[in-house]
Structure 1
Amino acid sequence: MSDSLDIVILTFNEARNIRACLQSAALLNANIFVVDSGSTDETIAICQQFTSNIFHHPFENYALQRNWALNHLPLTGTWVLNLDADHRVTTELAAQLNQIFAQNVNQELNGFLISRRTLFMNKWIRHGGHYPTYHANLFRRGFGMCEEKLYDQHFKVNGKTQALKADIIDVITDSLTSFTARHNHWATLEAQYQFEQQNKPALDDNGQLIHPRLFGNPIERRRYLKKRYEAFPLFVRPVIYFTIRYFFKLGFLDGKTGLVFHFLQGFWFRFLIDAKIYELRKGGTKL
């Protein structure tokens, strides 16, 4: 008997995105589950065209919503693929996963790492160290969970993982207005987290967070580099990061669209985080 797959998608007012997401997910031999947090647009009506497995749960934060879905949905698949409404399953990934799950996967393997292909203003951002970027979106049911962080959460898999060759497309914005608004919100969460970490003793996370390791898997290595980045002084680190990313890692090869993306995501966003941390340190109003 072959392994089976469930797909879990989170939604909130995603009428612009969700149809394309569901159409791509339908390429997989899988049951699709949607967890909505109170959409008031056409999101639910669109989802009903693809699945009857639609559930409602109030949104507190991304990690709690993901873990609620994993713990409370009537999942029956051997494996779980976690998607957002702005994700697209590529035809290559669908073909690879359908082939993998047409037979029983090695019992020693509990997760797959899938690279994200960022699409910004209809352009694939291929340089600046932004591709490939792996995430553990897919794991054996019962062997994965989402880190309980306010921002930059990753899925943590208990056991051995394997990287896949095919990608998930991540359409990260439909406009610069929504891009800057979302990143302003995320900057607030990240600044609050870093500020709190700097002002309290290190606590044992009981293995709930991904531990940084230079020679670990791609996700552990990214967490290690992020910790190194955080050790640099405020306002200096965004300059260093952008310089490395845009010039040394060839971000400029992404053209004018790439310049917009790398500057906003690789400098402005991180400078904004530092500015908000600086405000907190000066005793400003809580973010």
Structure 2
Amino acid sequence: MISVVILTLNEEGNLPRCLASLSQCDDIVVLDSGSTDRTADIAREHGARVFTNRFENFAQQRNFAHEKIPFRHPWLLHLDADEQMTPELWGECCEIAQKDLGPPGGTASATRRPPPDSPAIYDGYYVAPRMIFRGRWIPHCTDYPSYQARLVHAARFRFIQVGHGQREAPGLRIGTLRASYLHDLSAAPEPHWLAKHRRYAAGEVATHLAQRRSAPPPRLRDLLSRDRLTRRRTLQRFAFHLPFRPQLRFVYQYILRRGFLDGLPGLRYCRLLMHYERFIVEALREAKAKR
């Protein structure tokens, strides 16, 4: 079996669906950032344990879970409240956990690595979400599969903050799972989505400016890398130097990535992505004006 941790802040509308998808899990932890609605009550009603920690960024919050929360199992799946487990992913995660040679019934203190011939030779696994918008899976305009590190060995795995999100710390061994989880992009009203992504844009700009000071410039050859994540992250860095960024994002997602095949939900989502790119342009302009 595996443990599951869910990050929350005022998620009373989304959390019940997430928890309902975890009916087979015997260790659900909700790590809350100070909700003022019924989020904590709903979690406890579903048998989850609730912990509270002030949110600084996603990497800090997830690392807090690894370091401070006593999970019942060494392997931990990270979910957000607007995401849901699938039977296929649950089965694959349990298979990984059963093959791991860590102490049975362990906690996050188990640090023993499996031998090289073990199937569980990784510190964590990438999982690709299936993005749902207005009730429809929109794989083309969300670049499916777009992988994130979600199934991790809590004692061995750490995150670092990148933009508004997080990625695995350098030097970790990461595998890839076949199954996906569900992420409902339209779980919140559109004004809420826009406000959240305006905050995300500020984080992306802060990361970009920090990379310009400390990291080597992106390399054109990395756009042709065989590694999908390398290509994606390199493209994101080059995008800061492009004119007409919102319009180019729409052309890329809707036409080049064939987002038009995702129907009307795909069109609406690509238009939202244009707004997000405009927020980034505005945040970058404001940051440069302050320098």
Q: State whether structure 2 residue 252 is matched by structure 1 residue 277.
A: no
What letter matches 2:52 in structure 1?
A: H
Using the TM superposition, give the Cα deviation of residue 196 of structure 1 relative to its aligned residue in structure 2, in angstroms: 4.5
Match of 2:174 in 1: 161
Using the TM superposition, give the Cα deviation of residue 48 of structure 1 relative to its aligned residue in structure 2, in angstroms: 0.6
CA distance in 2, matches of 1:67, 1:85: 18
Match of 2:50 in 1: 54
The residue correspondences of 1:1-287 to structure 2 (distance < 5 A) are 4-28=1-25, 30-104=26-100, 106-128=119-141, 130-156=143-169, 158-173=171-186, 174-198=188-212, 201-202=213-214, 215=225, 217-230=227-240, 232-233=241-242, 235-265=243-273, 267-283=274-290
Identity %: 29
Contact 1:121 1:175 in 2 (8 A): no
Structure 1 residue runs of 5 or longer lacking an equivalent are 205-211
What letter matches 2:286 in structure 1?
A: E
CA distance in 2, matches of 1:77, 1:157: 24
Relative distance call for 1:157 and 1:100 in structure 2 (3 A) is farther
What SS does the aligned partner of 1:228 have?
Answer: helix
Contact 2:58 2:165 in 1 (8 A): no
Per-residue CA distance 1:135-178 (angstroms, 9 max, x = gap):
11111222222212351322347443222221111112321111
Structure 2 residue runs of 5 or longer lacking an equivalent are 101-117, 217-221
Contact 1:21 1:87 in 2 (8 A): yes
Match of 1:207 in 2: none
CA distance in 2, matches of 1:88, 1:78: 21
What letter matches 2:32 in structure 1?
A: D
Using the TM superposition, give the Cα deviation of residue 33 of structure 1 relative to its aligned residue in structure 2, in angstroms: 1.3
Match of 1:209 in 2: none
Please give the TM-score of this superposition, normalised by the length of structure 1: 0.83
Matched residue count: 268
Relative distance call for 1:213 and 1:79 in structure 2 (3 A) is farther
CA distance in 1, matches of 2:172, 2:181: 22
What SS does the aligned partner of 2:214 have?
Answer: coil
Using the TM superposition, give the Cα deviation of residue 6 of structure 1 relative to its aligned residue in structure 2, in angstroms: 1.6
Contact 1:110 1:160 in 2 (8 A): yes
CA distance in 1, matches of 2:76, 2:199: 28
Using the TM superposition, give the Cα deviation of residue 107 of structure 1 relative to its aligned residue in structure 2, in angstroms: 4.3
What SS does the aligned partner of 2:265 have?
Answer: helix
Relative distance call for 1:87 and 1:156 in structure 2 (3 A) is farther
Contact 2:93 2:151 in 1 (8 A): no
CA distance in 1, matches of 2:97, 2:120: 13
Relative distance call for 1:156 and 1:27 in structure 2 (3 A) is farther
Please give the TM-score of this superposition, normalised by the length of structure 2: 0.82
